[in-house]
Amino acid sequence: MTSPVAIHFREMSSEGLAAFEGRIAVLIDPSGKPDSTVRPLNRLVKGAIERFASSEAFEKMKPGDAVDLAWPAGITAEAVQVVKLPRKPEAALARKAGAAIGRAVGPKGVTVLVGGNGGAAELSFGLALRAYDFGLYKSEPAAERGVVTLMVADPEKVAATAQPMAALAEGVFFTRDLVNEPANVLTTTDFAARLAAMQEIGLDVEILEEADLADLGMRALLGVGQGSESPSKVVVMHWRGGEAGTSPLALVGKGVVFDTGGISLKPGAGMEEMTMDMGGAGVVAGVMRTLALRKAKANVVGLVGLVENMPDGKAQRPGDVVKSKRGVTIEVNNTDAEGRLVLADVLWYAQERFQPSGIIDLATLTGAVIVALGHEMTGVFSNDDDFCEAFLAAAKAEGEGAWRLPLGEGYDRLIRSNIADIKNSAGREAGSVTAAQFLRRFIAEGTPWIHLDIAGTAHVKRETTVGPKGATGWGVMSLDRLIRDRYES
């Protein structure tokens, strides 16, 4: 997998700055007055930093923004990057500043003069996230990122604060890598193997094969993948870090490694983006990796349904009727509404087997949620106000956009079927809501549940504050925060 850039924390020292060949970043308070951390370097560059900090250009900069002073006189460094940042920044602002530095990390590395800035750990996290680069398949890959050194007032304290963030960054990177992978590489078998490898970091991993799924009655899930050469699978990942006997939180992810739409074939234009239709499973995998790496004191089980939706002589047809694991019969009136069929069986299995204290599913489920919320917000649906508010608070704290959308019995009439209990698609009207309403049929009475439709946030065409364009890893940070705040013992 792509590894986060190496970050070291060192005591403040101006020794060696004159001869450093990489980049040097300095933090300047919005007042424009360089502090004792910056003054030695300012003297080396003949006052260039102070002159810029007193300029109109600096005044117009927004907090968290950065400007390069290229090839400054008096030192060897290729640039001094001036970052506008208060001495006690909020977490989001510190991450933004770190991302500005991380975006420009080159092969010779960067030294950041942080001093006693209160946002040092969050800055290092933002830096790590933005330095991500998925260049595995380029014949001329980008130059490797050099070492990052943060000069801070108290290295041990900052390093201790940043340690769980480093685990979180690795979880985000794992998710981004999975979502960015092409479908000819990330088959259902390869995906399962990557998850099984996480046994090395302490997760219990179980792979259920097609014969197992048939025995369990997962006909809705198996129907989606029956037209593909890649075998359908369910992977169960268990992290037992909490008190023995405590009911786990269950995370369930849609893992459609490629979605053609099946017989209800998608338009050709843009179909290449359907490599990201396993984004929900990718987020679940990234969260589980994070929990294991930081030794979380919580019990969490992650389940992902891995399938490929292809048109074939054996493929599921519009008009077919399948029986779900719960026993609910489903008329498949649109084979491109396949993710909810996968989730239906895995959700019910997760509840039957693990009796979770709560369950959260994630899926790149509907284009309708993009129409409603664009690429800024994930659609959030829930049957439990307290559970939902806790998640929304976690998402807000981590700067990941999330917006609650409605559920209601009135939407049930849109998924009624004439020949089965329900149908899997209600068409364009309230598309993201009826999809969530469908999933609600597979949540047992009394089980707190959240459905996250990440179709607009899992993969984007423009860079974000803390990541390049492509896979975002949205949700790993919010779910890890929810688990820390609500489930850690």
Catalytic residue at 323? no
Query: Could you say which of 326, 340, 423, 481 is catalytic?
Result: 340
Quote the CA–CA distance of 272 and 270 in Å, as a whole number: 5
Three-state SS for 377? coil
Quote the CA–CA distance of 450 and 55 in Å, as a whole number: 50
Three-state SS for 298? coil
Catalytic residue at 481? no
254 annotated to bind ligand:
yes
- Residues paired with residue 24 on neighbouring β-strands, in sequence order: 80, 111
45 CB-contact burial (10 Å; exposed 0-12 / middle 13-18 / buried 19+): buried
> Among positive and negative, which fits the CA dihedral 224, 347, 449, 166?
negative
453 annotated to bind ligand:
no
Query: Could you say which of 108, 194, 266, 323 is catalytic?
Result: 266
Tell how strand 358-363 and strand 66-70 pair up. unpaired
Listing DSSP states for 421-461 in one string gives SEES---STTHHHHHHHHHHTTS-TT--EEEEE-TTTSEES
CB atoms within 10 A of CB 182: 12
Quote the CA–CA distance of 294 and 162 in Å, as a whole number: 11
Three-state SS for 25? strand
Quote the CA–CA distance of 390 and 202 in Å, as a whole number: 27
56 annotated to bind ligand:
no
Residue type, 49: I
CB 283 within 8 A of CB 450: no
Would you list which residues are annotated within the binding site for Mn(2+)? Answer: 254, 259, 277, 336, 338
Would you list which residues are annotated within the binding site? Answer: 254, 259, 277, 336, 338
Catalytic amino acids?
266, 340
